[in-house]
Amino acid sequence: MTIAVQVPPPAGQLPADFLWGYATAAYQIEGSPEADGRGLSIWDTFSRDPAHTEDGKSGDIATDSYARYEEDIALMKSYGVTAYRFSLSWSRIIPLGGKNDPVNPAGIAYYRKFMKALIANGIEPMCTLFHWDLPQALQDRYTGFCSRDIIEDFVNYAKVCFDNFNDLVNLWITINEPNVYALMGHCLGTQAPGRSSDRKISPEGDSSLEPLIVGHNLLLSHGAIAKLYREGGYKLPGKKLGIVINVNWGEPYDDTEESLEAAADFMSVTSEWYAHPVYCGDYSERTKRVIGANLPKFTPEEIELVKDSSDFFGLNHYTTYLIRRPSSEISGSNMLMRFMGNVETTVTYPDGTEIGPKAGLSWVRPVPWGFKKLLKYLYKNYGKDIYITENGVICPNEGSLPYPEILEDDYRISYFRDYVDQIIALKDSVPVKAYIGWSFLDNFEWQEGYTARFGVTYVDYEDNLKRYPKKSAIYMTEYMGKAIAKA
């Protein structure tokens, strides 16, 4: 089937070295959980309990991309992308995860073959070390990121990756969204490892403490890996390493002092919690105040370790919320609200209008002006080059539309185009170096199972996982092809 698209010219040009492409994560697409000696990860364990996903399905098959990588790369090449952001499965490389556990040569051989195929097709590998699929053995051994023991094991895993892949990778990402991993896995318990204070959800966990400890150990791990990368001879000219933080924009609900403070608290706890240590060396004063005594403390040596440990600001951004103080007292069990700065998020202004059109998933609405404000805010605060490492949306009804109507994703086209246009509008004031959309394929969307389709490529789960480009894929090929200057 061929889809006709009309692509008006872009509003301006992006530099010739601007990176453009799509992202995925290992557990969301690979499947083949036992191939070539892979060990179990916490996402195998978690998602094999049908109560943990919307459709009761796990990532055991996913989009079968471990086996179909050549087909996937050929499709990506046809999209004209210049970069692909993917993650490595730790338990394929070190099946039991730890520094004294054996390395798996078959896992390494696979990823080398895969990266070489990307490069041979003119696609720059953007490689994430940890996108949430921790080896189960480390969760069992010492509760994973709840323990400081993780740091040495994570550094060892990073070293194995640098030793084996650094000749093929110019852009490394240590951790994907430490904030989401800490909170969904250890406060709400809706993602692996599924820990929470709520004993109906988990037999173990402490929603008020563990996310902070996990966050702290993620930051220390990132700092230690960056030190290894820089001091171990891996940071060669043209190579970079950074962390990816998920930041949504929080706009004050109204112009009262109370809402302005609430929005500042929201931004502080949802993004500064990680960004401030990574770029400035310690938790910000506001984060310390909002979170309070439970926030772990860095020693002076640790501050030095995490300070300026990322070569760029890796930004995953999806949406904007209106922020106000909650109308009633936050109950002790609603810890997530506390981790959002003791605020309430809404999408409806005082006059009843909505911040953006409803999407196919409740938490994401297109608000391109919020993205623009965020880019200015992040550059003003941290002064780093910004790499957009994820940005995407689901169309209304996309979960239920049949093929081929489902390919007509005009809603996604508007979203992508409006967001890229903010980057173009700011090109002389905010250095954005990459735009990576989420996602290359419909895939295993964590607790949503296969019900939430973020891809520019439709995957037919009923018919041998066949791939079909959606209209957005075709549109973006032409749009980005025109927007990025020719070298």
Taking the complex as a whole, the smallest distance from the CB of residue 180 to ligand PNW amounts, in Å, to 5
Q: Could you tell me the two tokens for 282?
A: 């310690």
- Candidates 19, 25, 161, 374; binder of ligand PNW (CB under 6 A) is 25
* Smallest separation, CB 121 to ligand PNW (Å): 24
Question: Least distance to ligand PNW from the beta carbon of 370, Å?
Answer: 12
Q: Write out the binding residues for ligand PNW, residues 440-459 only, by CB under 6 A.
A: 445, 454
Identity of residue 178: P
Q: How many residues bind ligand PNW (CB under 6 A)?
A: 14
DSSP secondary structure letters along 287-337: HHHHHGGGS----HHHHHHHTT--SSEEEE---EEEEE--SSPPPTT-HHH
Residue of 116, 254, 363, 460 that binds ligand PNW (CB under 6 A)? 363
297-316 mask for ligand PNW (x: CB under 6 A)? -------------------x
Stretch that binds ligand PNW, among 93-101, 137-145, 173-181, 396-404 (CB under 6 A): 173-181
* Helix 273-280 and helix 368-382, axial crossing angle in degrees, nearest 10: 30
Q: Which is nearer to ligand PNW, 153 or 442 (CB)?
A: 442
Count of Cβ atoms closer than 10 Å to residue 200 Cβ: 6
What's the min distance (Å) between Cβ of 191 and ligand PNW? 9
Three-state DSSP at 146 gives helix
CB atoms within 10 A of CB 412: 28
Smallest separation (angstroms) from ligand PNW to the CB of 87: 9
Q: How far is the CB of 443 from ligand PNW (least distance, A)?
A: 7
- Judge contact between 99 and 149, C-beta under 8 A: no
The span of 42-50, 119-127, 174-182, 376-384 binding ligand PNW (CB under 6 A) equals 174-182
Residue type, 138: L
Phi, psi values for residue 20, rounded to 5°:
-135, 140
DSSP SS3 for 404: coil
Beta carbon of residue 390, minimum distance to ligand PNW (angstroms, whole number): 6
Minimum CB distance to ligand PNW smaller for 23 or for 474: 23
The letter for the amino acid at 160 is V
Q: Interface mask (CB under 6 A) for ligand PNW, residues 179-208, using x and -?
A: -x----------------------------
For ligand PNW, what does the binding mask look like between residues 375 and 414, x meaning CB under 6 A? ---------------x------------------------
176 makes contact with ligand PNW (CB under 6 A): yes
Q: State which residue, 73 or 441, has the beta carbon closest to ligand PNW.
A: 441
> Smaller CB distance to ligand PNW: residue 315 or 483?
315
Q: Among the options 30, 272, 390, 398, which is catalytic?
A: 390
Q: How far is the CB of 216 from ligand PNW (least distance, A)?
A: 20
Structure tokens at 96: 């039991």
**Which residue out of 177, 210, 251, 398 is catalytically annotated?**
177
Cβ closer to ligand PNW: 18 or 454?
A: 454
**Closest to ligand PNW by CB, 313 or 318:** 318
Q: How far is the CB of 232 from ligand PNW (least distance, A)?
A: 27
3-state secondary structure of 47: helix
Which residues, 209 to 248, sit near ligand PNW by CB under 6 A? 246, 248
50, 444 Cβ separation under 8 angstroms: no
User: What are the distances in angstroms from CA 168 to CA 91, 240, 296?
Assistant: 20, 12, 37
Among 101, 133, 177, 251, indicate the residue that binds ligand PNW (CB under 6 A): 177
Among 54, 63, 336, CA closest to 185: 336
When the beta carbons of 287 and 389 are compared against ligand PNW, the nearer one is 389
Q: Which is nearer to ligand PNW, 363 or 403 (CB)?
A: 363
Name residues contacting ligand PNW, limited to 311-340 (CB under 6 A): 316, 318
Q: Is position 390 annotated as part of the catalytic site?
A: yes
Q: Which stretch binds ligand PNW (CB under 6 A): 34-42, 115-123, 137-145, 176-184?
A: 176-184
Q: Tell whether residue 129 is a contact of ligand PNW (CB under 6 A).
A: no
Using CB under 6 A as the binding rule, whether residue 438 contacts ligand PNW is answered as yes
- Percent helix, strand, coil in the chain, to 5, is 40, 15, 45
DSSP annotation string for 194-244: ---S-TTT-SS--TTTHHHHHHHHHHHHHHHHHHHHHHTT---TT-EEEEE
Residues that bind ligand PNW (CB under 6 A): 25, 28, 176-177, 180, 246, 248, 316, 318, 363, 390, 438, 445, 454
Catalytic site positions: 177, 390
